[in-house]
Structure 1
Amino acid sequence: MSGRSTRAAALAAGLWLPLLLLLSPAPVTAAPAAGTGTGAAAGDIAPVRLNQAGLLARAGKHAILPHPARTPLPWTLHDAAGHVVAAGHSSVTGDDAASGQHLHQVDFSAVVARGDGFVLTVGPLRSRPFSIGDGPYGALKRDALAYFHHNRAGMPIEARFVGAQWARPAGHVGEVVPCFGGRDRNGNDWPACAHRLDVTGGWYDAGDHGKYVVNGGIALWTLLHLHERALARGKPPPFPDGSAAMPEAGNGVPDLLDEARWQMEFMLSMQVPAGTRMALPLGPQKPGERLRFTLVDASGMAHHKVADRRWTALPMPPHLDPEPRFLYPPGTAATLNLAATAAQAARLWRTIDPAFAERCLRAAVRAWEAARRVPDAHALGDFEGSGGYGDDDLSDEFFWAAAELLATTRLPVFAGPVTGSPHFAADAVAEPAWPQVAPLGLLSLSLQEGALPPAQAGQVARAIRNGADRFLHDGAGAGYRQPLAATAYGWGSNAGLLNRAIVLAHAHDATGEARYRDKVVDVMDYLLGRNPLDQSYISGYGARPMRHPHHRFWAPSLDPALPPPPPGVLSGGPNARPGKEALEKLGGPCAPQACWLDDIHLYTLNEVTINWNAPLLWVAAWLDETG
């Protein structure tokens, strides 16, 4: 699954040592079909790399050609009738560290023609036929949202909503579970608590059946933020009532909020009851050593996760999961994730369901007070059947929660923790990630007119634009036009690109500058096939889509009775430090963007998660509106 043991491990996953490339350089390669004079069939690698699902007519249009030539090559664009639409010469990007290839770029952004069946030729090489128009984003945003319904716990997934092949019985129904008590893998003895909680519902986190408050927090925020952005800009909701296939359609509530509420209800259920005292590890301690426990008032905190005692094997449909389930100890990070998302939900449901909004706000304030009372309960246990999601710096979680509470309540008591935080004073917004959530608070505040004085609101706006500019700088000269340095392709790199795209989209919203929008388009072009592997990392989209994610139900390669992934599922993507098993299958160290295989067993490369599909949904919906 996608959890890491510490913040350092999570962020370092994207900071593999450049020395690796120096010691074991990936070969500079030409396109496999170079010189053949042919294009590629649907399943074959194409010599000319393009977005396989279609190019946006109103955005930049680029193709990438791996080719050893050191001088520009002539290219021609033909329409379906064979007429020449445009022609020119490639620009030589040269040796590219991220891909390990010598690259040419073809820029035909000036083309305004629309239609299907366009073919780009570069010398004797031909692309697959492709379309220019509105792109796949209207369908993709719906499929990306459906991912969350497919991964609901506690209810049957019915054929009338998802199709017969993906229907399944409910998993983990009536999930009333006790706290874990016993020894973890590091020999620490965890005392069980006295309570049991009904935590039915929510989304399965990733390829396993764990449900995590920390990772669930950023995924839930992303869905809610997509809806809130539309409200702030006076746009119609991206998913009005009845636009998605789900049981709640037709209830008068936007479907995106219905899906988000399924997770929000679960998050609320993870809150520790009043009057609960628990022994927790406090302060900086090393996870691999014996922990010291302190008895604290845990009232209002949030349990970190509910998960199996032991890992289940692949495949394992959720309704067949044989393992006992437990609540795992509460932590400050989970508590602040609950405070932030519940505060966010409170303002969005204020006019839709005032009683639910009030319930969310009460939970948020209780969680905030609990985190202030127990500010350093870190997730340090090494439990066998679930990911860690540990985090050794909680200052960003405190900032995020305070920002959401300030945005909702406008109370001065929350202004100090926001404006007095070093995260508020940051010159530039960083890439959002589950262990790096300060950007979420800044992005939320950017939508809240009047939450901050004008000078401070301007500071937030500048930080967002500066962050977007840094991402553009990180990708300057990148052969495949991605806003990420060659050394930063780590675990979940595809989601990292999408989270950067969210910041870039905000910069475009604020300025209207095409350079930000076009870089968002570059990210989606890459994910949909314009990459060194000619691979669409999104199931159901493109000529060569991802087919074998690390998932216990979407697993036909292991059990032919089980379904493939439905359309709209994002693979974690290339990871230059994927671990021993993956490196062996890859044949050794590889260039960062080439370190990927479509293999169900390789979770460091091909897992799928709620916090990766959430930014896919956000960006697809944004492009459907603005692209």
Structure 2
Amino acid sequence: MAITAGLSAAAASAPMSVFAEDEQILIQSDFEAGIGLPWYALETEPARQDFDISDGTYNVEILNNDGPESRWDLSLRCKDLVIRKGHTYKVHWEVNSSKEGEMYTMIGNNSGVVEVWHNNSGNDNYNQTWECVKIAKGDNTFDAEFTAKEDIDNAIWEFQYGGQGVYQPHDCFPNGTVLKFDNLSLIDTTGGYSIDSDNNDWGVVRPESNVRLNQIGYYPQLEKRASYVTDADKPLDFEIRDRSGNVKYTGKTKVFGSDPDSGTGKTTTVKIGSQIVTRLKDSGSNVHIIDFSDFKTEGTYTIFVKDTVGVNGTQVMNSKNANDTKLSGDKLLWRNPVTMKTYTMNESSTFRIDRNIYDDQLLKDSINYFYQNRSGVPIESEYITSGDKSALAHSRYGHNLDMAYVQSKWYKSYSSDFSEGEKDKQIDVTGGWYAASDHGKYVVEGGFSVWTLQNAYEFSKRRGNTRKWTDGTIAVPENKDNAPDILDEARVELEWMFKMINEDGFVYHSVQDHKWAGFPITPWMDDTQQGFEPVRIVRPPTYAATFNMIACAAQASRLWKGIDDDFSEECLQNAQNSWKAIMAKQSNWDVNRGYHYKDPYFAPSEYGVNNIFGDTYVVDDAYWAACELYATTGDADYYDFLKDYKNCNDPSGQDKAFSLTSCLRGGENDRSFGSFNWGNTAGLGTLSLYLSDKTSSADRKTIANSIQNIADQYLIQMSKEGMGIPYKSMTTEDYIGGDKPEFTGYEYGSNSFVINNAMVLAYAYDTDNGKYIYRNGAA
């Protein structure tokens, strides 16, 4: 089940009291601010819907009502409600429909097993209102009142309007129907319970300061720049203050000007692809650059900008003045309309100037992410490096054993009872890391992460400084063994990947639940809480997953040699065996684009239930795998294969052997401004060759030149950005509904692009004639 939620930059809505009579317990009722959360649209493939929040209504369009089960395959849901037994509630809801039909609406628990109200029922007719509410074409308004007979701590209010199925003899609405929800109200007339808005902004997403900087900090001897957003068009004075508020440095900002990626500073009409779009002013008109590079004293500081202009005349959806600041003394204030917290927008968050900004807490916490996502084991507080350790730790865990049914075909969706699923073969896939979005475990996503961790160690090893990987900086249960801790963490995922190798030497693509739960759950949550029994499935083997395992195993083999020789040999054997198996099918995968319906070893790109991590071009993965095998063995056969690599799908011509690119076209990317990610892996092989002692001096020089060339492109882009990042927005097409609307902005995973591109800058500094400017860019 896919989940989408309406988000916006800001809102203007009244705060809610914690206790009150006749209390409105919904945080969003009229959508005037363009915010959906905590309402969100859900769909179960192949049922599809599109949504937007505009003109004060939450609008959904039914694209395909033919889901796998019933009317609940398409729905609109509000989460995190608290319902109390014996309390009386008044319900009001309005919907405008472009066509007549019907829908089922209920308030109950997440799974739908418990309902306290449905279909406008009252206290005396609950059992007589199981049929859907009839919806006329045009405006519809409904009111009801009920007394709850159950306590529900995490209740939902849901509208269901999908196709025919269980309990639903016909489609709720025909395809193409547009439903506009408005003025949704749930009032507790008894009082006492509401959604807590004090610490949850529910979609009011905006910076807490207009001074944007590196919140981790700056090196004393390197460049130090921050950005400030304001309507002021003249340079402004700024101060750097220590913890006690003492001024330690003063300077003047430099006006950079407008920067669309930093916000819309002026209401304007723009053409995006074939569409004409009006963008409302939602930010300051100008970005100012704050340069304090010559301030080198170590310590903890804030930046204060002396600005009396601030930001005015903004609008987000229907909310006028949404992001405006208010001058109070020398401070420019902005109040979050949901949490009611007030922020000083011309003062930065704290930051450090320090020689060790990246090798202490940031390093600990970033690697600790993987430990906390380990599957099938308890997570112990002594190995958690940040946050509320007692809350994050858990002795309960799921998926041990993690037994999953192997699927030989790509199913777009499964019914709740898994009746159409294959149950002929079950394998043990215990271990590894959970993905970021669910309790699935994905070889191609995990493979990229394994390479990143192992590469960090190999880079350090080449520079002769691996102390931080062995001195206890990294918190893992394996701290006391003789291996580098970062390799220990990568090994957790790598050993799971070995369990995914089938009898033919190919690697299964992923393991996951057969259906989305549709709401946050823990791995050990029981079936009654989910509303269905999740069946663990293993997706078919793929070329991409197989090459990922080969590459990571070959890389691991050389790094573990001399530490654990048995494991080193196991890694190499797995890599070489699978390489032999997949090369026997080279004519099948060495193509410009593969299709899963012709060859199931290609993972489909857009395929419904859960994540897939589709990849229809895998020659880049083959190059990566060959590079890793060559860097480990020095075998000429691998070199003969990799030296001829060239990505025919890359319009820039940069994606080729011994090179990096800045134009990714593969996996789920189409001309993205980056050098590598999980779906475009050739760059990983090139960087491994750069580090390898088996690479010839000529090839290494070619690689170094390419690294510097791409790094120069990132530096140029940084100079064009008001925020100074090595990344830019892109225009892409959304194929939902078949009409290919175009969108421009930062793509999914944009933060990872920034980090990966910064890695290229770091490598450029490492080259024989690396310039100091690359180090500044990476830092």
Distance in 1, matches of 2:449 and 2:2, equals 13
Q: Please identify which structure carries the higher strand content.
A: 2
Partner of 1:517: 775
The CA deviation string for residues 444-466 of structure 1, in whole angstroms up to 9 with x for no partner, is 111112x2221111111111111
Partner of 1:199: 429
Q: Please identify which structure carries the higher helix content.
A: 1
Partner of 1:492: 749
CA spacing shift, 1:241–1:170, aligned 2, 3 Å = farther
- Matched letter for residue 257 of structure 1: L
Q: Does 1:76 align with 2:298?
A: no
- Matched letter for residue 397 of structure 1: D
Partner of 1:258: 488
Q: Does 1:414 align with 2:414?
A: no
Contact 1:243 1:249 in 2 (8 A): no
Q: Does 1:114 align with 2:294?
A: no
Distance in 2, matches of 1:44 and 1:391, equals 35
Distance in 2, matches of 1:394 and 1:251, equals 37
Q: Which of 719, 725, 732 in structure 2 is aligned with 1:482?
A: 725
Distance in 1, matches of 2:606 and 2:413, equals 6
The CA deviation string for residues 161-195 of structure 1, in whole angstroms up to 9 with x for no partner, is 233211222220012323126772389x9995964
Partner of 1:131: 352
Task: Compute the displacement of 1:2 (Å).
Answer: 11
Q: Does 1:272 align with 2:502?
A: yes
Contact 1:152 1:202 in 2 (8 A): yes
Task: Compute the displacement of 1:48 (Å).
Answer: 2.5
Q: Which of 388, 393, 396 in structure 2 is aligned with 1:167?
A: 393
Contact 1:2 1:387 in 2 (8 A): no
Contact 2:660 2:686 in 1 (8 A): no
Q: Which of 35, 44, 60 in structure 1 is aligned with 2:223?
A: 60
Q: Does 1:393 align with 2:393?
A: no
Mapping of residues 48-447 of structure 1, within 5 Å:
48-80=211-243, 84-100=247-263, 101=265, 102-123=286-307, 124=330, 126-128=346-348, 129-134=350-355, 136-137=357-358, 138-162=360-384, 163-168=389-394, 169-180=396-407, 184-185=411-412, 192=422, 195-240=425-470, 242-273=472-503, 299-320=504-525, 322-375=533-586, 376=589, 377-380=601-604, 385-422=609-646, 423-425=655-657, 428-430=660-662, 431-447=675-691
Deviates more, 1:104-113 or 1:73-82: 73-82
Task: Compute the displacement of 1:471 (Å).
Answer: 1.4
Partner of 2:692: 448
Task: Compute the displacement of 1:313 (Å).
Answer: 2.8
Distance in 2, matches of 1:424 and 1:384, equals 32
CA spacing shift, 1:365–1:174, aligned 2, 3 Å = same
- Matched letter for residue 525 of structure 2: L
CA spacing shift, 1:106–1:243, aligned 2, 3 Å = closer
Counterpart secondary structure, 2:539: strand
CA spacing shift, 1:81–1:184, aligned 2, 3 Å = closer
Distance in 2, matches of 1:304 and 1:323, equals 19
CA spacing shift, 1:340–1:130, aligned 2, 3 Å = closer
Partner of 2:11: none
Contact 1:339 1:363 in 2 (8 A): yes
Counterpart secondary structure, 2:477: coil
Task: Compute the displacement of 1:402 (Å).
Answer: 0.3
Contact 2:604 2:616 in 1 (8 A): no
- Matched letter for residue 520 of structure 1: A
Question: What are the ranges of 5 or more consecutive residues in structure 1 without an aligned counterpart?
Answer: 4-42, 274-298, 522-627
Task: Compute the displacement of 1:71 (Å).
Answer: 2.4
Question: What are the ranges of 5 or more consecutive residues in structure 2 without an aligned counterpart?
Answer: 4-205, 266-285, 308-329, 332-345, 527-532, 590-600, 647-654, 663-674, 731-744
The CA deviation string for residues 46-86 of structure 1, in whole angstroms up to 9 with x for no partner, is 24223334333232211211122222223333445665543
CA spacing shift, 1:89–1:224, aligned 2, 3 Å = same
The CA deviation string for residues 308-365 of structure 1, in whole angstroms up to 9 with x for no partner, is 1111132210122641101110010111001100100111111111111111111101
Counterpart secondary structure, 1:318: coil
Distance in 2, matches of 1:82 and 1:323, equals 55
- Matched letter for residue 149 of structure 1: Y
Contact 1:211 1:305 in 2 (8 A): yes
Counterpart secondary structure, 1:56: coil
Counterpart secondary structure, 1:307: strand
The structure whose Rg is larger is: 2
Distance in 2, matches of 1:73 and 1:44, equals 20
Distance in 1, matches of 2:622 and 2:226, equals 43
TM-score (norm: length of structure 2):
0.55
The CA deviation string for residues 357-404 of structure 1, in whole angstroms up to 9 with x for no partner, is 111111101221222123432013876542121112111001000000
Contact 2:413 2:515 in 1 (8 A): no
Contact 2:660 2:706 in 1 (8 A): yes
What is the percentage of aligned positions where both structures have the same residue? 34
The CA deviation string for residues 572-597 of structure 1, in whole angstroms up to 9 with x for no partner, is xxxxxxxxxxxxxxxxxxxxxxxxxx
Partner of 2:761: 504
Q: Which of 463, 468, 472 in structure 1 is aligned with 2:715?
A: 472
Distance in 2, matches of 1:190 and 1:314, equals 24
Counterpart secondary structure, 2:438: coil
- Matched letter for residue 453 of structure 1: S
TM-score (norm: length of structure 1):
0.68
Higher relative contact order (CA 8 A, sep 6+): 1
CA spacing shift, 1:57–1:122, aligned 2, 3 Å = farther
Distance in 2, matches of 1:427 and 1:226, equals 20
- Aligned-residue RMSD, C-alpha: 2.8
CA spacing shift, 1:2–1:433, aligned 2, 3 Å = farther
- Matched letter for residue 131 of structure 1: R
- Matched letter for residue 448 of structure 2: I
CA spacing shift, 1:222–1:428, aligned 2, 3 Å = closer
